[in-house]
Amino acid sequence: MSTSALGLVTLINPIDAPAVARISLARRLDSLQGKSIGFIDNIKPNAGLFLRHIEEMIRGDYSDVKTHTVRKNFTPNLLIADKLDGKVDAVVNAWGD
């Protein structure tokens, strides 16, 4: 995946090399003031701790921020991000291995 200066991301499917998609990035928020922020905890080691620290930092600068946290369980195919649909203006995702 690469990011260009134009705010586009190129997604390349490593299984099917000819399949390439270019999509626009979401617009960044001008401020977090008064916004609702979602946190996605993927249950990886320290993901919850990481998200709590990020939330504390955000609240330190923006006391009126609302937060919503969803936490993955051990079912790999269970969707959780959809639980934030319509509730948040932005998302912080603790994702990785």
Q: What's the pLDDT score for residue 46? A: 87
DSSP annotation of 30 reads S
Query: What are the domain boundaries of the chain?
Result: 33-94
Q: What's the pLDDT score for residue 32? A: 95
| 8-12 vs 20-24, strand pairing mode | antiparallel
Closest CA to 25 of 10, 41, 44: 10
Contact yes or no for 35/67 (Cβ under 8 A)? no
pLDDT along the chain (97 residues), means of 10: 59 66 79 96 88 95 95 79 92 77
Q: What's the pLDDT score for residue 1? A: 45
Strand extents, DSSP E, 27-95: 36-41, 66-71, 90-94
Q: What's the pLDDT score for residue 97? A: 55
